[in-house]
A and B are shown apart, each in its own frame.
Chain A
């Protein structure tokens, strides 16, 4: 099980927290879901997380807030944002701030796989960190 990359999902929407980890597991990833940024930070999986699927707008700490906090803590986790606010202006902004990808809900399986794959291969991926 240890060789399976851990993908953590942080979203205040319950249906996402229910459905997304199951699908990720079907793809062969390990998956954990958190209902808020604070809950994720308080967990013991921060260091193990290879890819973070992060909602943008949440009560309390927002997605970008968490991204900033992780940078401050020098936890370089590749982040894929997921948002239901289908605003085309959001994506470039988030990419410019270092996100691997930004998926607009509802997104397809293929888009999800591409994004997670890119995250795991990227400069902050576990593979890159290992070298």
Chain B
């Protein structure tokens, strides 16, 4: 304060007390104030000018341009003169080191009313200026980002007019900033956006709704031609601004749409083609397919199946309808498939043969394979293919007949050849024996018996007798020599091969075969051919046992499964005449037979084969008609 007083005393000596109060007020102001006369000399300044700008007391009466503290602003004196001349305030920016000031120059009037000089105020704007710089920098960055974004963006004002946009927007629509500033969005792109739903949504958004349901707009005229765009928008609100704006984005989905359309077209075409393939394949192979939901009896047939059943394509398929076509003797199969539901493991795969009895009394032979599945509600459903194998059956029957005749002939032939060979081998020594015996007798007859000659011929007789006996021994050795050829075997596979070989035989005998071959049987070691002979023999026996059965289906079940931990068992169950107690014991003996044309060797040979595999073969009665023959073999036999 002392300094101020000194200064003021220097500038304004003998001032009125009111003026002194005024100068005190001046000094209390933190903003530097400098008063300059018309002649550009400094009349006075407040203490802030000393403290903040660094004016010294000696600066009073100095010309403005000579004030050292104001040297960085050389034009100040000139500007002050202009303010005095024009009588209007002016301003200038002034930098003092890191500090920025805005200098306001205001004219003041003297007691005569004329402009007496200028009052300079120095407002510190450093902080404000820094904020401004930052804001400008941020804005430039944002602008750069927006202009780099490939997606067109536009900000709409409350009346849905274009406020600002990025470069991608201007490029896409081929417009300039000036052209579109304040223009309506709906005039763009050949008015493609002028859609009621879009207008409504944008209005809602501007009125306060938070999101817009993206709108797809096609046929938008752009610099890239007709495009399909998806418009999305979100509201923008700024603190302190009551007006709501929206930011609209445009996504060009033309290429994606085209690709999708092409793909749709393609997959539709592919689907159509694969359906056509399937239908053609079914037609050519006389194979139909169906699905059957057992619980609801919902049945769906392929077209070919309708044709095979000779039913009009598309009529609803019911079990009753199927029953009108299935041969009465084979109808029980349908019931059996329903029964699967009650099996402990539920569901199974089936392969079966059945016949259709057509209205004209002709018979069609069908071969079906069904796969049982469980749907998500655990309901049983069958997916099956059914092939019309009538033609194949007929040719197979013819073939089988020819084959069995051929077998008969060849058996007779080979027996003939064998007999001839045995006969030759035996006849030679027999011939010698008879001749020698004749000679011997003659030598002993007569007046002078040739005893020595007779002895010699007798020796020859013995030799030839031994020779004949050797032939028989050799023959026996030849036909009893059977060694096991061991390999690792899956009993399922062995059984399947036999089934494949016997199918036509079974069918000819009207036997309905159900194979229940377990999926993961452990392997056994054995002789494939011999085990197949055993299985074949069991199937054959089962077939024969049912030959006279007329009052029930000739069901045959072949089943392979584990027995305990270390054996596998194969059983063949028939619905035939069964076995009585007396037969049961003798059944496996050689030459025992219940058949009129049997030799009684099959089962005994089968048993010896199984025993050589370290297993056993047995027969048992079961509930209902028929018998079950089973054998079991150790998983790891100790050797034959």
Contact = CB atoms under 8 A, between A and B. Distances in A.
Interface string B431-463: 111111011001100000000010001001001
B527 interface: no
Interface stretch (A20-28, A41-49, A60-68, A71-79): A20-28
Contact of A86 (B423, B453, B464): B423
Contacts of B430: 105-106
A85 B417 CA distance: 11
A18 B434 contact: no
A30 to B, nearest CB: 15
Given A19-B457, A84-B423, A13 B428 contact: yes
B438 A84 contact: no
A85 B423 contact: yes
A22 B429 CA distance: 16
A109 interface: yes
Q: Is the interface of B mostly helix, strand, loop or mixed?
A: helix
B393 interface: no
B497 interface: no
B438 A23 contact: yes
A105 B457 CA distance: 18
B356 to A, nearest CB: 52
Nearest to B432: A15
Interface residues of B, number: 23
A23 B435 contact: yes
A105 B443 contact: no
Interface string A6-37: 00000001011011101100110000000000
Contact of A16 (B432, B439, B463, B467): B432
B143 interface: no
B420 interface: yes
B442 A16 contact: no
Interface in B407-436: 420, 423-424, 427-436
Contacts of B435: 16, 19-20, 23, 106
Contacts of A87: 420
Given A23-B442, A26-B442, A16 B434 contact: no
A43 B442 CA distance: 29
B622 to A, nearest CB: 53
Nearest to A18: B460
B462 to A, nearest CB: 12
Contact of B431 (A22, A26, A27, A107): A107
Given A106-B430, A106-B431, A106-B434, A19 B439 contact: yes
Chain A interface extent, by class: 20 to 34
A16 B423 contact: no
Contact of B424 (A20, A85, A108): A85
B442 to A, nearest CB: 4
A84 to B, nearest CB: 4
A16 B460 contact: no
Contacts of B457: 19, 22
Given A86-B420, A86-B427, A109 B432 contact: no
A85 B425 CA distance: 9
A84 B439 contact: no
Nearest to A27: B442
Interface in A87-128: 87, 104-109
A105 B439 contact: no
A26 B443 contact: yes
B326 to A, nearest CB: 55
A20 B439 CA distance: 8
A123 B435 CA distance: 28
Nearest to A87: B420
A106 B467 CA distance: 14
A117 B423 CA distance: 28
B434 A84 contact: no
A104 B423 CA distance: 11
Contacts of B443: 26
8 contacts: A13-B432, A20-B435, A23-B436, A27-B442, A86-B420, A104-B427, A106-B430, A106-B433
Given A104-B427, A107-B434, 16 more contacts: A13-B432, A15-B432, A15-B436, A16-B428, A19-B435, A22-B436, A22-B457, A26-B442, A27-B442, A84-B424, A85-B420, A85-B424, A87-B420, A105-B427, A105-B430, A108-B434
Interface of A: 13, 15-16, 18-20, 22-23, 26-27, 82, 84-87, 104-109
